[in-house]
Chains A and B, each alone.
Chain A
Amino acid sequence: MNDHLLAVLELHGLFQWLYDKLLTVGLPESWTTVVAYGSLSVIVFGVLALVALYLIWWERKIAGHIQQRFGPMRHGWHGWYQTIMDAIKLLQKEDIRIATRDRVVFFWAPVICFVAAFLAYVVMPFGDRLIVADLNIGILYILAVTTFTVISLIMAGWGSNNKYALLGGMRSAAQMVSYEVPMVASVLTVIVFVGSLSMVDIVKSQSGLIFNWYIFRVPFGPIAFLTYIVAATAEVNRTPFDIPEAEQELVAGYNVEYSGMKFAMFFLAEFVNMFTVAAIAVTLFFGGWNGWQLVPSWIWFLGKTMLVILLLMLFRWTYPRLRVDQLMEFSWKFLVPVTFANLILAGVFKQLHWYW
């Protein structure tokens, strides 16, 4: 395989190519930058929407096979375009707006949820040099923007003017705020190893041998990963922490009054969020895009992310659901102390140069 083909497969020059093409059109240089970044975000958005649709299909297939059935089988080979048809159906559906809603809040909740889900991808390193913007506060930025989701869920709960939705919104607020703390502390453990908040730096510091991945930096790496994955499961409201939308208690939780495309926006955002937390886990603990050279780096990244998502899906289809107070106790009485102890010890070890 020659270097040129490899470079094309790696999609390195994607942005440059786009930029050059736009220059030939004859736009002024400042405009070209704007249009180029605009097109890039459309590409990222499109890819992620497709990934989310694909994840829904994958989740249904996995659920099916765990439960001794097939899952979607009708549309295409093993139902591969089932979710595309579902999305089209949801687009066509009537947008039911109940009369007692809070108009502004009800309308903006799914929008904010949807936008917040995609904001994290500004700094997500999909591959070697495949990143929209390498901010020097990358991971901090992600942690900040993903928290927007909480606001949208409370807005959905409040704006629906429905008791079940309100309970769901309150639960999700309490849950996401509680689990934000152990999640950040687990992330910080890795930051202590790296010494930089930039996503690209985090990945680059894990290049080379597989043992450079932070999951193998015993004992702090594995502990941080376990606490991270637990907190992340709670962050994206999945079983065993799916109490905000606990079907058997709250019917559907915060999105009970939403229909049609607004519901689809919540639903897609949920899967995009799942992809986000899995991608962060891969970036922090599994070496990001690093891998065997002959395969393009973005394939490595996507593949590893899919494996982490598989783990989340296995949780969902195996475990029962915790109760709301047990969930809080688990976070504050167990996860928070463990993650902070882990973080402090990692810091001490690093400072004393004991094995780094």
Chain B
Amino acid sequence: MPELRTEEFIVNMGPHHPSTHGVCRLVLTMDGEKIIKIEPVIGYLHRAIEKICENRTYQQCIPILDRFEYVTAMSCNYVFSLAAERLGQVEVPQRAEYLRVIMLELNRIASHLIFYGVTAMDIGAYTPFLYGLRERELIMDLFEMTCGQRLTYNYIRIGGVSRDIPPEFVPKCREALKIISERMSDYEGLLNENPIWLVRTKGIAILPAELAVAYGVSGPVLRASGVQYDLRRNDPYSIYERFDFDIPVRYHGDCYDRYLLRLDEIRQSMRIVSQALDSLPEGEIKNKKVKANFKPPAGEVYARIENTRGELGVYLISDGSAKPLRVKTRGGSYNQLQVLPHYGTNMLIADLVANFATLDIIMPEVDR
């Protein structure tokens, strides 16, 4: 009798699949339920953002970069403004710096709340998704109150911010922070000690620190692997050195640590926001010297900030005209997707889903 033979087969996970967070395509070579090989295929969301920017003035680039990483559009606004300000040596008023920090950190909280919901949903718990988005709504309301937008803000401009916060912003913001910090216990109660959640995430898909560093992984994924690296501390920008906050680090590098680390970061961001609200100075919100035809002197600059998905960077080359000669963007998701095939194999397809969710990859940042 001939020996029984099993065959590997290929599953095309994506570009349309419920848990690839956009249009990522993973070509999986499978042995039954086990994954032998992962091959990410990217480019389904390519919109040539960098090239479009090179045909716009500096001010016009900002609304386009809103679409670069739409979950935290404030960061994209900010990193481009930061690069342009460094290029043109623009002073930013103090009040604008505080407002920027408040907006950036609120946006970080909002993004992590989405992460919480989406990850839980990918692991099969539907209810946390609604809970996460419910609290995100409070932050979206604050943004809408300030700049009229809920997703693509176009708020942080070169030399400041586009408009001042309304008077009811500060009390509303404090109230939102209070509600979120109260409901954090709900989130943790639903999942942290849940035995099913623990077996699904603890010890699953361990990303070793060396591998993470070798592939340029940054942000919460890197910190969950035990590397204390946060640009807010390691390469301070804006006024972050004025605030008292911790950089949470966890050491196992598994899905559970990546999940917990984001909950820790929500707490730290809330600390920063409440400190910034306490010490918010009065004054100008925009440097009046920056005009619509902002022309920085010729030169090049790289600006980077700590985003929710790792290092977010913009590399700008100026030839002294009103349009940038070259815009290069860098997003953390790209590196996280790149490292996935190197440690994500030899596990079941359900683990891949958990792993992919906790990496928190979003595709516009990969494809640009």
A residues whose Cβ falls under 8 Å from a Cβ of B? 63, 66-69, 163-164, 167, 171, 239-240, 242-243, 246-251, 317-326
Interface residues as binary, B245-271 with A (CB distance below 8 Å gives 1, 0 otherwise):
000000000000000000000000000
Whether A320 lies near B120 (C-beta < 8 A) is yes
When chains A and B are docked, how far (Å) is the Cα of A249 from the Cα of B30? 13
What residue of chain A has the Cβ atom nearest to residue B124's Cβ? A321
If A248-B353, A251-B18 touch, whether A326 touches B124 (CB-CB below 8 Å) is no
Which of the residues B18, B127, B196, B348 comes within 8 Å of A240, measured between beta carbons? B196
Instruction: Tell me whether B292 is interfacial, beta carbon within 8 Å.
Output: no
Q: B339: shortest Cβ distance to chain A, in Å? A: 21
Q: Which residues of B contact A325 (CB under 8 A)?
A: 33, 348
Which of the residues B9, B196, B350 comes within 8 Å of A319, measured between beta carbons? B196
What residue of chain A has the Cβ atom nearest to residue B10's Cβ? A163
Whether B124 lies near A324 (C-beta < 8 A) is no
Whether B19 lies near A249 (C-beta < 8 A) is yes
> Which residues of chain B (170-209) have a CB below 8 Å from chain A?
190-191, 194, 196-197, 199-200
Interface residues as binary, B110-125 with A (CB distance below 8 Å gives 1, 0 otherwise):
0000000000111111
If A67-B130, A322-B196 touch, whether A248 touches B124 (CB-CB below 8 Å) is yes
When chains A and B are docked, how far (Å) is the Cα of A246 from the Cα of B200? 14
Whether A321 lies near B123 (C-beta < 8 A) is yes
Whether B123 lies near A317 (C-beta < 8 A) is no
A-B pair count, CB < 8 Å, reads: 80
When chains A and B are docked, how far (Å) is the Cα of A248 from the Cα of B125? 11
Whether A320 lies near B19 (C-beta < 8 A) is no
If A163-B11, A318-B125 touch, whether A246 touches B130 (CB-CB below 8 Å) is no
Q: Which residues of B contact A242 (CB under 8 A)?
A: 124
Instruction: Tell me whether B126 is interfacial, beta carbon within 8 Å.
Output: yes
Whether B350 lies near A66 (C-beta < 8 A) is no
Whether B127 lies near A66 (C-beta < 8 A) is yes
Instruction: Tell me whether B17 is interfacial, beta carbon within 8 Å.
Output: yes
When chains A and B are docked, how far (Å) is the Cα of A24 from the Cα of B273? 84
Q: Which residues of A contact B134 (CB under 8 A)?
A: 68
Q: B47: shortest Cβ distance to chain A, in Å? A: 26
If A249-B353, A323-B348 touch, whether A67 touches B131 (CB-CB below 8 Å) is yes
Whether A320 lies near B196 (C-beta < 8 A) is yes
Which of the residues B123, B124, B127 comes within 8 Å of A67, measured between beta carbons? B127
When chains A and B are docked, how far (Å) is the Cα of A171 from the Cα of B349? 12
What residue of chain B has the Cβ atom nearest to residue A64's Cβ? B130
Q: Which residues of B contact A251 (CB under 8 A)?
A: 17-18
10 A–B pairs (Cβ distance < 8 Å), ordered by A: A163-B11, A240-B196, A248-B121, A249-B349, A249-B353, A250-B349, A317-B127, A319-B196, A320-B197, A321-B350
When chains A and B are docked, how far (Å) is the Cα of A247 from the Cα of B124? 8
What residue of chain A has the Cβ atom nearest to residue B357's Cβ? A248
Which of the residues A247, A319, A324 comes within 8 Å of B348, measured between beta carbons? A324
Q: Which residues of A contact B191 (CB under 8 A)?
A: 320
Q: B29: shortest Cβ distance to chain A, in Å? A: 12
Whether A326 lies near B199 (C-beta < 8 A) is yes
If A246-B124, A246-B350, A248-B121 touch, whether A321 touches B200 (CB-CB below 8 Å) is yes
Whether B122 lies near A248 (C-beta < 8 A) is yes
Q: Which residues of A contact B127 (CB under 8 A)?
A: 66-67, 317-318
Q: B246: shortest Cβ distance to chain A, in Å? A: 29
Question: Which of A171, A321, A324, A326 has most B Cβ within 10 Å?
Answer: A321
What residue of chain B has the Cβ atom nearest to residue A326's Cβ? B199
If A320-B124, A320-B125 touch, whether A68 touches B130 (CB-CB below 8 Å) is yes
Q: B297: shortest Cβ distance to chain A, in Å? A: 51
When chains A and B are docked, how far (Å) is the Cα of A242 from the Cα of B17? 18
Q: A315: shortest Cβ distance to chain B, in Å? A: 10
When chains A and B are docked, how far (Å) is the Cα of A250 from the Cα of B12? 11
When chains A and B are docked, how far (Å) is the Cα of A330 from the Cα of B353? 21
When chains A and B are docked, how far (Å) is the Cα of A67 from the Cα of B134? 9
Taking A320-B120, A321-B350 as known contacts, 15 extra A-B pairs with beta carbons closer than 8 A to each other, sorted by chain A number, are A67-B130, A68-B134, A240-B196, A249-B19, A251-B17, A317-B126, A317-B127, A319-B124, A319-B125, A319-B196, A320-B124, A321-B123, A321-B200, A322-B124, A322-B200
> Which residues of chain B (105-161) have a CB below 8 Å from chain A?
120-127, 130-131, 134
Q: B69: shortest Cβ distance to chain A, in Å? A: 23
Q: Which residues of B contact A249 (CB under 8 A)?
A: 19, 349-350, 353
When chains A and B are docked, how far (Å) is the Cα of A318 from the Cα of B127? 7
Q: B64: shortest Cβ distance to chain A, in Å? A: 32
Instruction: Tell me whether B311 is interfacial, beta carbon within 8 Å.
Output: no
What residue of chain B has the Cβ atom nearest to residue A252's Cβ? B18
Instruction: Tell me whether B97 is interfacial, beta carbon within 8 Å.
Output: no
Which of the residues B33, B131, B190 comes within 8 Å of A167, measured between beta carbons? B33
When chains A and B are docked, how far (Å) is the Cα of A214 from the Cα of B113? 45
Question: Which of A250, A320, A323 has most B Cβ within 10 Å?
Answer: A320
When chains A and B are docked, how far (Å) is the Cα of A171 from the Cα of B350? 12
Whether B350 lies near A320 (C-beta < 8 A) is no
> Which residues of chain B (1-57) have a CB below 8 Å from chain A?
9, 11, 17-19, 33
Q: Which residues of B contact A321 (CB under 8 A)?
A: 123-125, 196, 200, 350
When chains A and B are docked, how far (Å) is the Cα of A286 from the Cα of B17? 43
What residue of chain A has the Cβ atom nearest to residue B118's Cβ? A248
If A320-B191, A320-B194 touch, whether A248 touches B18 (CB-CB below 8 Å) is yes
When chains A and B are docked, how far (Å) is the Cα of A247 from the Cα of B11? 15
Whether A323 lies near B351 (C-beta < 8 A) is yes
Question: Which of B125, B190, B351 has most A Cβ within 10 Å?
Answer: B125
Q: B255: shortest Cβ distance to chain A, in Å? A: 12
When chains A and B are docked, how far (Å) is the Cα of A30 from the Cα of B123? 57
When chains A and B are docked, how far (Å) is the Cα of A249 from the Cα of B13? 9
Whether B200 lies near A323 (C-beta < 8 A) is yes
When chains A and B are docked, how far (Å) is the Cα of A324 from the Cα of B121? 17
If A247-B18, A320-B191, A322-B199 touch, whether A63 touches B350 (CB-CB below 8 Å) is no
Q: Which residues of B contact A240 (CB under 8 A)?
A: 124, 196
When chains A and B are docked, how far (Å) is the Cα of A246 from the Cα of B122? 9
Q: Which residues of B contact A319 (CB under 8 A)?
A: 124-125, 194, 196
Q: B293: shortest Cβ distance to chain A, in Å? A: 49
Question: Which of A63, A67, A248 has most B Cβ within 10 Å?
Answer: A248
Whether A63 lies near B126 (C-beta < 8 A) is yes
What residue of chain A has the Cβ atom nearest to residue B134's Cβ? A68
When chains A and B are docked, how far (Å) is the Cα of A248 from the Cα of B33? 14
Q: B183: shortest Cβ distance to chain A, in Å? A: 11
If A242-B124, A243-B350, A249-B353 touch, whether A68 touches B131 (CB-CB below 8 Å) is yes
